[in-house]
Every structure is written in C-alpha cells, then in structure tokens.
Amino acid sequence: MSDSLLSVRSLTARYGAAQILFGIDLDLRAGEVVALMGRNGAGKSTTLKAIMGLLDQRSGDITFRDADISHLRPYEIARLGLGFVPEDRRVFSDLTVLENLEVGRRPARKNADGRLVDPWTPERLFELFPNLAEARRRAAGRMSGGEQQMLTVARTLMGNPYAILLDEPSEGVAPVIVDAMADMILALRSSGVAILLSEQNLPFASLVAARAYILERGEIRYSGSIDELRGNEEIRRAYLEV
Amino acid sequence: MSAAGLLVQLLNGLADASSLFLLSAGLSLIFGVSRIVNFAHGSLYMLGAYVAYSILERIGGTPLGFWGSVLLAALAVGAIGAMIEIVVLRRIYRTPELFQLLATFAVSLIVKDAVLAIWGIEDLLGPRAPGLAGAISILGRRLPQYDAMLILIGVVVLAGLHLLLTRTRWGVLLRAATQDRDMVGALGVNQALLMTSVFCLGAFLAGLGGALQLPREPANAGIDITAIGDAFVVVVVGGLGSIPGAFLAAVLIAEIKALCIALGTIALPFGLTIAFPKFTLVAEFVVMAVVLVLRPWGLLGKPQAAAVSAGPPETPLAPAGRAQKWLASAVFVALLLLPLLAGGNSYAIVLAIDIFVGVLFATSLHFIMGPGGMHSFGHAAYFGLGAYASALLLKAAGLPMPVALLLSPLGGGLGALLFGWFCVRLSGVYLAMLTLAFGQIVWSIVLQWDDLTGGSNGIIGVWPSAWLASKTTYFYLALVVCAACVLAIRRILFSPFGFALRATRDSSLRSEAIGIDVRRIQWIAFIVAGAFCGLAGGLFAFSKGSISPETISVSRSIDGLVMVLLGGVQSLAGPVIGAASFLVLQDQVARDFEYWRAALGVLILILVLAFPGGLVGALRFRLRRA
C-alpha cells in the first residue's frame, strides 16, 4: 500500500457553465488530519463533494486505498471506507438519533492482517458524544445545531471509515461546541481515522491539523505545514484573512 | 334510517376505505421517496385485477386457491412495478417533475393497450371468495363477509406498513431517503436498489388492491383512470408521503360517501328535498377542498418547503421579429386559401378545424405552464366546461348558436375561477395533482349527471346556425377566432400582467418582495387560460355536432401537455407548432394503427428519455446547495 490513503490529481469540477475547480492535487495519509483552507467560495466544499462523487461534472484521478474511485457512485465510495460529513448538518430530521446512526451503519472492516476492527456502535459513539446519549430517542430535527453537527459526524463514523471528509465542522456552532469538535477530531485521529477537513478558521485548524492546503478560486495556492502557515503573514493575508 | 342500517352502511364504507387505502398507500410511499407522482399507479391497480382474474380462473376454486391467486397477482404486479422502475424511472429521477409525470403516464398508455390486447374489452367479474360468499347478520341487517374481510386486510396492511417503516433497517433507510436521498447515498446505501424495492412494494400494494376489488367490481380497461383519480385525491387529502394520512383520508372520504347514501333523500319544509346520495359524486371534491383550504399540505403531511428553482433561469421571451411576423402572416394567408385549394368539404378542412381547436387549447395551457410555471394536468376540464356550457346554452337554454359560442369562455373561465383559487395555493407537483383531481371531478360529474349532461351518451345535435353550417364557413370562423386568441394571449404576455406572471414563475418570494400579489396574479392567469380554453371547447362542440364526457377525459389533458412539450415549453410559437404537428401525427397514426395509445406512450417515452434534461434546456438538478 502506498503512503497516501487518499490521493487526488488534477481534479476539476463545474456546475453547469461555471467551472469551480481547476486541477486540484492533494494527499491524505493514513491517520493524519489535513486542513483544506480558503475563503468562502474558494471551492472547499466543492472539492470534498467532488471527491465523494456527489457532483456529476468532475474529472481527474482520485485514488483511495489504491482503488480508482474517480468514476464510482457515492455509495460505492462510502462502502470502500471514505466517509463524508456535509457542512449543512443534513441530519434526517424526522428520524431519531438512533435511527440516524442506523442509516450510516456498515459492516465492520478488516485490518491489513485480516482481523476485524472493532466497529463503531451507538454505545461507543455516545462515549465520544455524551450529548447524543441523552437524546437517543429524540427526533434529530429537535436537537440544537451543535448536537446535529455531532450527529452527522457520528452517523458517518457508523460506516467504520478509514478516512473522513469533514466539511466546515466549526461553522455556525457555539464556541463550546467548537471546542468539543476539536477534542472529537483529536480523539478520532488517535483512533486511526484520517481526516480531510475543510475550514476557514485558522486557530481551529491549527488545533487539530498538522498540514494545510489553501484554495483560492479553485486552485491550490499553498501546501505545507500549518505552523509555517501561522508564521507566514503574507500568505495568510493573501488567501485567508478577510 | 335505523341505527342498524346506519351501522352497516358505515361498515360498508370502511370496506371501501380499505380498497382506497390499498390503492393509495403505494402511491404515497413511492412519492415520499422518489418524489415521483406515479401516474401509472392506477394501471398497476388495474393489472392487479386482470392478473388476479386469470389466475383465479385456474386455481380460484378453494379458499387457499383464492387467497393464493390474490397474493400471486399482487406479487406479479410488484415485479412489473420493479421492472418499470428499472427501465423507465431510474433514468428520470433528476429531470423536472413534468417529465416524470409524462413518463409514468406514457407507461399507463402502454399498459392500457396491453390489457386490451390480452384480456379484451369485455367487463370481467371475478368469482366470490370461497367461504366468504355469505353475509354477517348485524342487528337484522346483512354485511357481506367479504367486506368484513376487506376491513381486516386494510387494518393489517396499515399495521404491517407501520412496522416495516419503523422497525426494520429497510424502513429506516426508506424514511431517511424520503428526506435526503443524496445523503443516504453518501452514507453507503445503494439508492437504486432502494428505489426499485420501494416501487416493487408500492406496485404490490396497488396490485393487491386491484385483485381484492375483483369480487366486488368487474375489471374493465377504464378502471385505471378512475383509480388514479381516487388515489390522487386520497393522497393529497392525507398528505403526500404519509401512510397513516392515506388511511385517514380513505376512511374519511369513504365514510362521508357512506353517510350520504345512508341519509338518502330528506324532505325539508316548503316542499324542498335534498338528495344526499347525489352528493357522493362530489364528496371527494368537497373533502379535498376543505382540507386544502385549512391544511394545504394534507391532514398528516408536512408543509412543503418553498419551491427552489431547479435549473438555470428561463430565457426572457422575445417579441416576434420582422421575419417571424412575415412568416405568421404568410401562414395565415395560406390558410385562408386552403378551402379554395383543397376543396370546401375535403378532409383537410376537417383536420384543419381540429388543429385550430387544438392550437387554441394548447396555447391556453402553455399560457399557465410556460410563462406561468404552473403545470396543469387537468386542462381538459376547462375545455369540457366550455364545450358543455355552449351545448347546454344552445339545447337547454335555447340561445342562438353564436351567443352560445360567445359565452363558452364563461364556462371555462368560471371553472378556472373556482379551481384556480385552490390551485394557486399549491405549487409544483402538488398543484399538478390538484389540477388533475379537479379534471377528474368535472369528468365524473358530467358522466354521472344524466339529467343535465346526458351522462355517457353526451349531448347530440350541437350544430352551428345555418349561416355557419358549411364546413368552409366554420373553417374560417375557427381560423379567425383561433388566430385572434393566439395574438391576444401573446399581447397579454407582453403586458405588465405578463411580466408579473413570469416574475412569479421565476421567484415567487422575490416577486412578493417587490409588491406583486403572487396568488392573485396566478389566479388571474388561471382564469384567463380557462376562458380561452373554454372557447376552444365551444369551437370544438359546434365542429363535431355532439359532445361526450370524453371531451373532459384525462387523455385530452395529456394530449395538451404533449403538444406543449413537443413545441417547447418556453417558446411562444411552441404550442402552435406543437399542436399542429401532434394532431397531424395522431391523425396519421390513429387511422391505421389499432394500438395508437401504446404508440403515443412510446413516443412520449422517447421524448422524455432521449432528452432527459428536458427539451427546452438542459435542466439538471444538482446536489442541494450546490
């Protein structure tokens, strides 16, 4: 197996006549957290959706665990172990928390040596997200924004993914939830799940990620360590700060 | 009426409710997940009855054989439903709803011809259920045992569906997909398989309903249309996508009808009487109207989200250029010369009159559909109201024919005034279903109100005055009326009212924000379209000399849609060209080909499948919030 868990080469995507992505290259290695940064409209969400196969008009080479996934349907990609957490908290609002988790459930995965990896269960997830445990039979639509955000993450984890595409977890939630999100991402990383995180907030990204890519108008403008990015005011001012 | 009699009548009503529920539950289920209104659902119901008939003939003699046959028939219909999903519907999930409705309607046309080819045109009555042929005695009244069994089956199916949806993984996935299909896919669920299974289940339920109804009502090739009309009303009343809602609505409607029958004719003071049984004709309509006013999303449905424009914005309408005006004038002059060239009584003249009527019909439909963005599936209602209005004014009221014709817009317009008031409170597919339901209601009233409309015989002897009687004169009349109306409709579209109408189509929210009363504009558009359409109906009636309920049939509404689509929804010349080419084509095919309905179905399918993004623009749904 190559070094890279997820590798993206020359990814382009368009909505109708408007081209959004112009040849993105990026890599995600096993067990690491990488931040995909950039301003609103830079193409962060589009990149994640394109990787996940949620856009019809995409081209480029996408490899996940040595399999070419650039022409697969979203459900096939998910079954290979690449999870997707949407930005806009798309919980199934009429379903209970437990039912939401059930939708995401996939069979346990095997290690390289053929042994079953301990699968995620609702009980294990409730340890990670105590708020959800109290609301397990409540309709998801009746929960707070932060709780819904946690539920979308937990739901994707039920698929026992090797890697997760996490779209703007800190957007529009209360500061206390943002902290909880950061703790959760670190916990996931230590359990071996790799995360590609789209994020605008540099302080948040630097809490959890070691590397970062910066997107601007559909192209990668920076790639490197997040510490270096913090120190480089010129790049920050050019691509991140408003 | 005694208490016992009332009780038995109500129990009878419950048995009817069971049938209605089985018929509607599948439609609701399918809509919930796929957002497709399955027009072919009535056809699946019909297939259930016919397939059950054939199986019952062979093995229906014993109780086991009877129930086995019913189950086998339902399973067969389920398999057919799955096949329809795989072959047709899978390709059109992301196309505009109009195309989905048309595609499923095309399927229903093909099924109808298949049924006629296999089982023939005779009514087929199934055998009584062995062991359940008797009646249960309730306080001296008799309730058929089979009706009691139906009530039981309805309740069992409701409970079974409830358990399936809440207690199984499949049910959870289904409910999740109802809310957000793409997200379910991104979580690793094979949507295609899920859709096929939902269709299979929905078709199974429809087939079961049809098979179980066979001992009560004979199967004939017309029950698909009545069934789909009933199912639409039940589903709209109950709330699209809600199974308990469908049950509740079915019980409500069936019981109100049962009550009307139980009440009978009641004498009032001053020698007045009310014949309640007559109300059964309109009971559905009244229930639906009341429910839609109070809860537009149905009894147990959810309020619909504001409609999000699905595709790129429509291009603005362009006024006719110089070349177009010359061309239109040239065509008009050529048409003026046609009787001289083809001969005054030739077939070409007869066909041309049909085309003028069709052009006016299609143009009036296009007016609310294209620039108005409201897809009407019941446009034949206004056509029929216009036709019947002028025929009745001539025959019953004794008005001279020109006056009767001039008043025909009143028939269509008044109908649109009433129906439009309800319709503009909905949008999208809900609106389409409501227009269809109204169309079916007008049709069934006209069909059943023998005293006034002549029932299925219709009204004969509707001929023009002597000075208009020759085909040539009538040709000129139709030509001038049609041309004047098409120009008038064009004029309206380029008036401030027309701009406002297009604004409401493009964004109802933004239109309201700049002070446009969206519902009022849309309502007026409905009335205008209804009036023009009524005139087309009047022209039609006097050109044929007789009219029948067929004038209002749903197939005429669909013909109108096909004409408009053929020509292009967002082009002003579209309905004119579409109607003319459709009618010439239909004339050529229908004359020599027995299965022209199926041929039309195939034509529609080709139209829809070969241009999956729509003829007018490559409309494509994208991931939400793309």
pLDDT digits (tens, 9 = 90+) for B592-601: 778 888 888 8
State whether B620 and A56 contact (CB < 8 Å).
Answer: yes
State whether A74 and B620 contact (CB < 8 Å).
Answer: no
Distance from CA of A74 to the nearest CA of B (A): 5
Q: Among candidates A132, A134, A108, which has minimal Cα distance to A120?
A: A108
Distance from CA of A231 to the nearest CA of B (A): 34
State whether A103 and B173 contact (CB < 8 Å).
Answer: yes
- Using the predicted structure, report yes or no on whether residue B298 has a pLDDT greater than 70: yes
The better pLDDT of the pair B185, B559 is held by B185
Residue A242 has a pLDDT of 66
From the list B179, B187, B622, which residue is nearest A78 (CB)? B187
Q: Sketch the domain layout of chain B as residue ranges.
A: 3-294, 351-625
- Using the predicted structure, report yes or no on whether residue B142 has a pLDDT greater than 60: yes
Is A108 part of the contact surface with chain B (CB cutoff 8 Å)?
A: no
Residue of A54, A88, A91 to mutate, testing the B interface (most B Cβ within 10 Å of its Cβ): A54
Mean pLDDT calculated for residue range B451-461: 83
What tokens were used for B601? 């179905």
- Using the predicted structure, report yes or no on whether residue B417 has a pLDDT greater than 60: yes
Distance from CA of B202 to the nearest CA of A (A): 22
State whether A92 and B188 contact (CB < 8 Å).
Answer: no
Residue B312 has a pLDDT of 52
> If 0-12 CB within 10 Å is exposed, 13-18 middle and 19+ buried, where does residue A186 land?
middle
- What residues of chain A score a pLDDT lower than 70? 1-2, 242
Distance from CA of A54 to the nearest CA of B (A): 7
Residue B626 has a pLDDT of 34
Q: Among candidates A100, A164, A85, which has minimal Cα distance to B179?
A: A100
The percent of residues above 70 in pLDDT, for chain A, comes to 98
Is A216 part of the contact surface with chain B (CB cutoff 8 Å)?
A: no
List CB contacts of A148: < 8 A, sequence separation 6 or more: A89, A91, A140
Distance from CA of A81 to the nearest CA of B (A): 9
Distance from CA of B307 to the nearest CA of A (A): 18
List CB contacts of B176: < 8 A, sequence separation 6 or more: A92, A95, A99, A100, A103, B183, B184, B189
Residue of B91, B183, B302 to mutate, testing the A interface (most A Cβ within 10 Å of its Cβ): B183
Residue A62 CA, chain-centre distance (Å), reads 16
Q: Among candidates B137, B111, B100, which has minimal Cα distance to B49?
A: B111
From the list B175, B190, B312, which residue is nearest A75 (CB)? B190
Mean pLDDT calculated for residue range B551-574: 81
State whether A103 and B172 contact (CB < 8 Å).
Answer: yes
State whether B185 and A78 contact (CB < 8 Å).
Answer: yes
Instruction: Write out B234-287 in H/E/C secondary structure.
Output: HHHHHCCCCHHHHHHHHHHHHHHHHHHHHHCEEECHHHCEEEHHHHHHHHHHHH
Is A75 part of the contact surface with chain B (CB cutoff 8 Å)?
A: yes
The better pLDDT of the pair B306, B578 is held by B578
- Using the predicted structure, report yes or no on whether residue B272 has a pLDDT greater than 80: no
Distance CA B618, CA B162 (A): 40
Note the pLDDT tens digit of each residue in A8-19.
Answer: 999 999 887 889
State whether A92 and B626 contact (CB < 8 Å).
Answer: no
- Using the predicted structure, report yes or no on whether residue B94 has a pLDDT greater than 60: yes
- Using the predicted structure, report yes or no on whether residue B433 has a pLDDT greater than 50: yes
User: Phi and psi of B310, rounded to 5°?
Assistant: -90, -25
* CB B562, CB B358: distance < 8 Å: no
**Mean pLDDT, chain B, integer:** 86
Give the right CATH number for B351-625 from 3.90.550, 1.10.3470, 1.10.10, 1.20.120: 1.10.3470
* Domain B3-294 architecture: Orthogonal Bundle (1.10)
Is B620 part of the contact surface with chain A (CB cutoff 8 Å)?
A: yes
DSSP B504-572: HHH-HHHHHHTT--HHHHHHHHHHHHHHHHHHHHHHHHHHHSEE-GGGG-HHHHHHHHHHHHHH-TT-S
Distance CA B374, CA A17 (A): 27
Mean pLDDT calculated for residue range B394-405: 86
Q: What angle do CA B324, B329, B333 make, to 5 degrees?
A: 150
This prediction's pTM: 0.84
* CB A15, CB B626: distance < 8 Å: yes
Residue B21 has a pLDDT of 96
Is A16 part of the contact surface with chain B (CB cutoff 8 Å)?
A: yes
Among B19-28, B159-168, B333-342, B531-540, the minimum mean pLDDT is found in: B333-342
- Using the predicted structure, report yes or no on whether residue B313 has a pLDDT greater than 70: no
Is B189 part of the contact surface with chain A (CB cutoff 8 Å)?
A: yes
State whether A159 and B188 contact (CB < 8 Å).
Answer: yes
Residue B305 has a pLDDT of 55
Distance from CA of A45 to the nearest CA of B (A): 9
Note the pLDDT tens digit of each residue in A132-165.
Answer: 998 889 999 999 888 899 999 999 999 999 999 9
Is B188 part of the contact surface with chain A (CB cutoff 8 Å)?
A: yes
Same CATH topology for B3-294 and B351-625: the answer is yes
> Searching chain B, which residue's CA lies closest to the CA of residue A46?
B626
